[in-house]
Structure 1
Amino acid sequence: MMAKRIFILGLQRSGTTWLANMLAALPQVAAVAHEDHRGVHESVFFSHFARGFGPWQDADARKAFCEAFAASDYYQLTEHEPELLPELVDSSDDYGDVFVRVMDLYAAVEGAEAWLEKSPHHTLMARQLLRAAPDAHLVMVARRTQDLILSRLYGFGRTPQAGIKRKLDVLRGSLTAALYRREMRRLAASENALFVTYEALKNDPDHATRKTILSFLEIEADPAQMESTYSANTSHTNDEARQLSLDELCIMYLGLGLARLVPLSALKAVQRRRAHLRGVDWPDWVWTMTSYDPTVSDPSELSDKD
């Protein structure tokens, strides 16, 4: 039987990792995970790998992609043989087809009925995800904007900027949060997508939200089993110094209000333009296991990793 395909979507710091880890705790669901990533590993496949090497029709682009993805932590953690990927590339129709086949095989080896992928970068790329896997289930999670902004300011041990730069970060955070929530609400109108909130997951004493998710995914499992086995990646604190000031709250609500006035298509166009100008900005954790560098064409020039 073909595996169920699940994509977890949502803005960074919204609870995507927690929700992915909850589902990955089920024996029915296979997910690429590692302790260094606090659980389910992001593939950034469609946002980075599928657009970082050139058109699929270009043989050199396919070769460069194959080398880079095979060296990635994500592919390494699937424990697929290195020789498998070139075979899949040669017999696939496009980048997305390669990813689905890699994950279908991963689920089969794990003896799971479903596989799960979680990359916040993919949230505005539903069209590409569904082109690769038309039967995929999209599970989307959003968080209260104020808490989301605070988490983005202080997450991963960050020290927020001060003054006007911090206020600009608050404004950008509110605009981005509004864009993602509007897009997820739009997607939720389709039968293959489910929208949940971080707050509903957190305050779920009778597991009603978990049951809704399992029902949507058509997975028969005890919702009590949906407990992450990884430590929480939280920046939550009651420290008053880590709260939004009154003027920052005003800026946040201003951003949310402005975002509601702009057509969603226009907001997405601005986001695509920003992504195009920024190019493929590779996260520093993509190749930690192999020290691969996509800017180095000669593998002999790669540094050995201790």
Structure 2
Amino acid sequence: MQNQTAKTLKGKAVAALDAGKLQQALKKAQLGAKKFPNDSDFHAISGFVLTEMKQYKKSIPHFVEASRMKPDDPQFVENLANALMQTGQIPKALEYIEQKLEQFPNNQELNRVLDEIHLKGDNWRMMIEHASKKLENEPDDVKLLAKRARAYAKIGFVEENTRDIARAFELAPDDIKIAFQKSLNLHQSGDKNGSKDLLQSILQKEPGHISALLQLSTVATKEDAPQLLDAVETAISNSETQHHELAFAQAHLISKISGMDAAMPAFEQANALQHEGNPYNPTAEEEKLNRVIGLFPVDHPIPSSGISDVPVPVFVVGQPRSGTTLMEMMLSSAPDIAGCGELTIGADLAREYTSQGKKFGSEDAAKYAEEFRKLMPPIPDGSVAFVDKLPHNYQIIGFLLSAFPNAKIINMLRDPRDVGLSKWIRRFPAGGMRYASNLSAIAHSANLYRRYIAHWNAVFPGQILTVPYEKLVADPKTYSQNVAAFCDLEWSETMMHPEKNTKQVRTASIDQVRNKISTKSVGGWQSVSEHLQPMLDGFDPVLWPEYNLG
């Protein structure tokens, strides 16, 4: 009888919710929570109704209670994560989501919330401010130091990140999470052996540490690979859920032992797992393209801040894996040119326009330029230029050139088949890279890139220098001289030796750019083309006249 009463009341609450009668739905759901305190559904309905009413803070206790009662129900987890984010409790939301993603690794909603946090630089700055205030009273709180270090890394504050993680590791060398952060920092700084040693020590304490296994798989030698593969496969067999990180680790190691062709089925499985939890939405990306180019029509007056301050901004754009890191390392090898890595500032400042289609005028451009320079990481005094190499800035070139009329845009062009393969065989967890785990999506995104660039070339003729990757690596002297001349910078022979650049590298090119410039990766797609057919079929040959894609 009690069950029937609860079911009836629940049905009435849901019916009221479906009819848009939110107050009535809330009243019935909260009545149910009082009468049937052990029924998690009433708390879930109450929380959901409050969410629909935009009363996120009031919804949190209900979602907490529902999740406590049913910890294995991902729907309750999703609701609580979203409510925490909507109420600005970003540090709590991030910690909670990452913890729960270990339990539900392919949950789309959790991945969406995580992406939303990661994509906004303001969230990371909020975490830095939050941690910094607490560290004033507790300067040796290792968890706060580690959190702030991570947040600094996300917004490109390299020195601050290194300082915080070094201090945290000094205070707590046995903390596995901090040791892992330290291993990444060592690798980014060029100390691959030190990084490997630290990762091995992590695995001695926790043999199934997923992130350590994945990271080691990317730097393992052919000799190391068989033993590490055994450890990865043991972790896979011991895991109750499928983790794409372990699948990628397995694929990397197979490629090192048996070659890339043998590893392609494993990469296909790894990407399928990742794409399941974080799918690409081609329609949304097409709509975004149309909104952005609609703000900067061809043959219309271009907004301008009228500001031409120094250091001169140099934006290196292109598809990820097209040589953007190589170009930044070449440029920042020269004296007085500061390499800033991949700054998210440009995309952050453009988001309200790219997502909502809000008009962008000269006053907006001036504000954009002012905010951009204010939010930048510190660069050395006397720098004549700084380099921001966030590849996807190709989407916002109109904003960048409107804000910085003296900016230089270097567009890295590379055979999309090589670019596509390079994406396919690496794990890209960032939300803006979700297309990298689906072959058809890789092609769709590549075609969009060419459409963006074609539009910007029409709007800003002569203001974008396209550098073909294949020609750059074949003749680095000529092409680095061309880039220097375009940027009004003095050419330096050091530009031809990016492998000597000691700057930190935080991208998938972390190891390649530590080696001398080489042509060995050109045409690599051909040996595994049979595994790439959906991508090869998806490229529009008309958009890629430089390459024979017919």
Q: Is the 8 A contact 2:416 2:446 kept in 1?
A: yes
Q: Structure 1 CA distance, aligned partners of 2:525 and 2:366?
A: 53
Give 2:441's match in structure 1, choosing from 160, 172, 175. Answer: 172
Report the CA distance shift for 1:30/1:18 in structure 2 as closer, same or farther (over 3 A): same
Partner residue in 1 for 2:321: 13
Which is richer in strand? Answer: 1
Cα gap change, 1:242 to 1:208, in 2 (>3 Å): closer
Larger radius of gyration: 2
The answer to whether structure 1 residue 252 and structure 2 residue 535 are counterparts is: yes
Deviation at 1:142, TM superposition (A): 1.9
Q: How far off is 1:110 after superposition?
A: 2.5
CA drift at 1:254: 2.5
Shift of residue 93, structure 1, vs aligned partner: 5.6
Q: Distance in 1 between matches of 2:396 and 2:463?
A: 15
Tell me the equivalent position of 2:345. Answer: 45
CA RMSD of superposed structures (Å): 3.9
Unaligned runs of 5+ in 1: 33-39, 56-91, 159-165, 262-306
Shift of 1:3: 2.4
Match for residue 97 of structure 1 among 364, 367, 370: 370
Secondary structure of 1:219's partner?
Answer: coil
**Is 1:137 the counterpart of 2:408 in the alignment?**
yes
Q: Structure 2 CA distance, aligned partners of 1:179 and 1:20?
A: 23
SS in 1 for 2:510: coil
- 1:98-137 correspondence to structure 2 within 5 Å: 98-101=371-374, 106=378, 109-137=380-408
Q: Which residue of 2 aligns with 1:304?
A: none
The letter for the 1-side match of 2:530 is L
Residue 17 of structure 1 and its aligned partner are, at CA, apart by: 1.2
Match of 1:85 in 2: none
Q: Offset of 1:217 from its aligned partner? A: 0.6
Q: What letter matches 1:246 in structure 2?
A: E
**Alignment pair present for 1:28 and 2:328:** no
Unmatched runs of 5 consecutive residues or more in structure 2 = 1-308, 356-364, 430-434, 513-519, 545-550
Partner Cα separation in structure 2 for residue 135 and residue 237 of structure 1: 34
Superposed CA deviations along residues 213-243 of structure 1, whole A, max 9, x for unmatched, are: 01101111224434322575368879x9995
Q: What is the number of residues matched between the two proteins?
A: 205
* 2:78 corresponding residue in structure 1: none
TM-score (norm 1): 0.56
Matches of 1:187 and 1:155 in 2, distance apart? 29
State the one-letter code of the partner of 2:446.
A
1:243–1:50 Cα change, 3 Å: same
Query: Counterpart of 2:480 in structure 1: which amino acid?
Result: R
Q: Distance in 1 between matches of 2:428 and 2:403?
A: 36
Kindly provide the amino acid, as one letter, of the partner of residue 485 in structure 2: S
Distance 1:12 1:167, change over 3 A: closer
CA deviation after TM superposition for structure 1 residue 11, in Å: 1.3
Tell me if structure 2 keeps the 8 A contact 1:30–1:110.
no
Q: Which is bigger in relative contact order (C-alpha 8 A, separation at least 6)?
A: 1
Partner of 1:202: 473
User: What is the percentage of aligned positions where both structures have the same residue?
Assistant: 25
| Distance (Å, rounded) in 1 between the aligned partners of 2:436 and 2:332 | 37
**Structure-1 separation of matches of 2:321 and 2:463:** 24
| Contact 2:485-2:491 at 8 Å conserved across structures | no
Give distance in 2, aligned partners of 1:113 and 1:212. 18
| Structure 1 Cα separation of the partners of residues 495 and 539 of structure 2 | 37
SS of 1:124's partner is helix
Which runs of 4 or more aligned residues in structure 1 lie more than 4 Å from their structure 2 counterparts after TM superposition?
234-238, 240-243, 258-261
